[in-house]
């Protein structure tokens, strides 16, 4: 059985997620120690800001799953009410859940790229701890393959769904390329940092960070190989910039119409693109009335984000079909795997019967030439292989559609493999 046990942002509030994440993180041998749980064969621990999950290969009954839920609740010091947030998926549902997680279909922001890297990190940790074997190894590689197909065969990640990313995408549409453009970031908080990250990722090279706190501006500028200035130098920085993105916590306008009008004369009316992603707004809306100035605020960008989220949801239908295909293929392999020990036992028994019968007839066979003896043995083995072909094929193929335990049990009884 494949099982996924855990909780995520859909089933638990953030404080419960934090408790469980911290509790599991304190365990030095977690999750390798979970293999000691009766019935658990392989285990993987995935922990992100939005989920804490265990992926396991286990015996096909409820006890391993119940034990894993108990371990999570104990490690996170969860109350009974908090523990009720834990979920458990089995077999196809578990496989589908994991593939959807890796493909970012279960993410808070559908299509985000970080989750696949986090899943791969969890896989590498489990490998290093010798916590997984053939079943989860193949499962994880199938999850990576599914995520890759979703990325390449759908447009689920093609459109920006964060305001900072939308601002950068809009700048790209206007200028074509950010290479060689001088960019001014006003503010040095989280939104400003996200904006810098997206800018660098899209080819920006010259970034200036202006902030009331010079120390914060210097920290952010240094991280992204830019330069820092105080707000006292904002007029000069505006005159030099092609693109301005502002995200401060100011309660009044940081960029006024007079400041921009003055800059335009010095810039000889060179195009100026401004994006205000602050709330309340940093840039006076009257700036938009100036010639060769383009001003966008968070409302404009939110329209882009909302439309792009609709596009992602449409693309998610294609992604779900890919997940469905990949789940079916892995589950079929898993069912075939369950029949392997019985197939091996059947062939071993048949080969033993052949050897025994040939030994019983060794008296008359000794008079045969070696070539004739080999022909007789090949004939017998050929007949046995043809007889075994049908039951072996049935166990491998039909087990994917029916309960493989029933097919295997019938084969073991018919051929008396347990005698």
Q: Which residues are catalytic?
A: 49
Nearest to 139 by CA among 89, 88, 69, 91: 91
Reduced to 3 states (helix: H, G, I; strand: E, B; else coil), residue 237 is helix
Task: Specify whether the CB–CB gap between 26 and 8 falls below 8 A.
Answer: no
Strand ranges, E, within 272-349:
272-276, 293-297
Task: Count Cα neighbours of 419 within 13 Å in the Cβ-side half-sphere.
Answer: 8
Looking at 76-232, list the stretches that DSSP marks H as alpha helix, in order from N- to C-terminal side.
80-83, 91-102, 114-128, 134-153, 163-175, 190-201, 214-223
275-to-256, 362, 399 alpha-carbon distances in Å = 13, 92, 59
Reduced to 3 states (helix: H, G, I; strand: E, B; else coil), residue 63 is helix
Using omega within 30 degrees of 0 as the cis cutoff, is the peptide bond preceding 32 cis? no
Question: Bridge partners of 180?
Answer: none
Instruction: List, as own/partner pairs, every contact residues 233-237 make where C-beta atoms lie below 8 angstroms and the sequence separation is at least 24, other chains included.
Output: 234/186, 234/210, 234/259, 235/259, 235/262, 235/263, 237/184, 237/208, 237/210
Strand ranges, E, within 179-312:
182-186, 206-211, 227-230, 243-246, 272-276, 293-297
Other residues' Cβ atoms within 10 Å of the Cβ of residue 357:
11
Q: Which residues contact 44 (CB under 8 A, 6 or more apart)?
A: 31, 54, 55, 56, 122, 123, 126, 131, 132, 136, 140
Tokens of 261: 């009008």
Question: Bridge partners of 13?
Answer: none
């Amino acid at each position: 059985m494949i099982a996924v046990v855990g909780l995520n942002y859909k089933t638990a509030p953030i404080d419960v997620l934090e408790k469980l994440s911290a509790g599991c993180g304190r365990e030095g041998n977690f999750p390798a120690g979970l293999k000691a749980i009766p019935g658990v064969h392989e285990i993987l621990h995935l922990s992100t800001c939005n989920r804490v999950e265990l992926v396991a290969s286990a015996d096909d009954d409820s006890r391993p799953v119940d034990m894993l839920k108990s371990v999570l609740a104990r490690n996170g010091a969860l109350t009974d009410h908090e523990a009720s947030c834990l979920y458990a998926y089995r077999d196809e549902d578990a496989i589908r859940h994991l593939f959807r997680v890796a493909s970012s279909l279960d993410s808070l922001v559908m299509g985000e790229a970080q989750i696949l890297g986090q899943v791969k990190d969890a896989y590498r940790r489990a490998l290093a701890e010798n916590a997984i074997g053939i079943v989860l190894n193949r499962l994880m590689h199938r999850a990576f393959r599914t995520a890759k197909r979703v990325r390449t065969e759908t447009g689920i990640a093609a459109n920006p769904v964060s305001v900072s990313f939308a601002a950068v995408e809009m700048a790209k549409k206007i200028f074509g390329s950010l290479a060689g453009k001088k960019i001014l970031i006003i503010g040095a908080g989280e939104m400003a940092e996200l904006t810098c990250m997206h800018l660098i990722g899209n080819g920006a090279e010259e970034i200036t960070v202006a902030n009331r706190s010079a120390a914060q501006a210097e920290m952010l500028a240094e991280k992204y190989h830019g330069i820092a200035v105080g707000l006292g130098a904002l007029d000069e920085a505006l005159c030099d910039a092609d693109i301005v993105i502002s995200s401060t916590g100011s309660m009044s306008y940081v960029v006024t119409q007079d400041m921009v009008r003055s800059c335009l004369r010095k810039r000889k009316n060179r195009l100026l693109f401004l994006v205000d992603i602050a709330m309340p707004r940093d840039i006076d809306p009257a700036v938009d009335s100036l010639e060769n100035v383009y001003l966008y605020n968070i409302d404009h960008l939110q329209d882009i984000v909302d439309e792009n989220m609709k596009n992602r949801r449409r693309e998610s239908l294609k992604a779900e079909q890919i997940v469905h295909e990949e789940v079916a293929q892995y589950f079929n392999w898993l069912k075939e795997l369950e029949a392997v020990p019985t197939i091996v036992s059947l062939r071993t028994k048949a080969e033993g019967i052949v050897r025994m019968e040939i030994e019983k007839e060794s008296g008359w066979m000794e008079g045969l030439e070696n070539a004739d003896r080999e022909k007789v043995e090949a004939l017998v083995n050929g007949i046995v292989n043809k007889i075994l072909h049908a039951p072996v094929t049935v166990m491998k193929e039909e087990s994917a559609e029916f309960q493989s335990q029933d097919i295997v049990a019938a084969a073991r009884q018919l051929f008396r493999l347990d005698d």
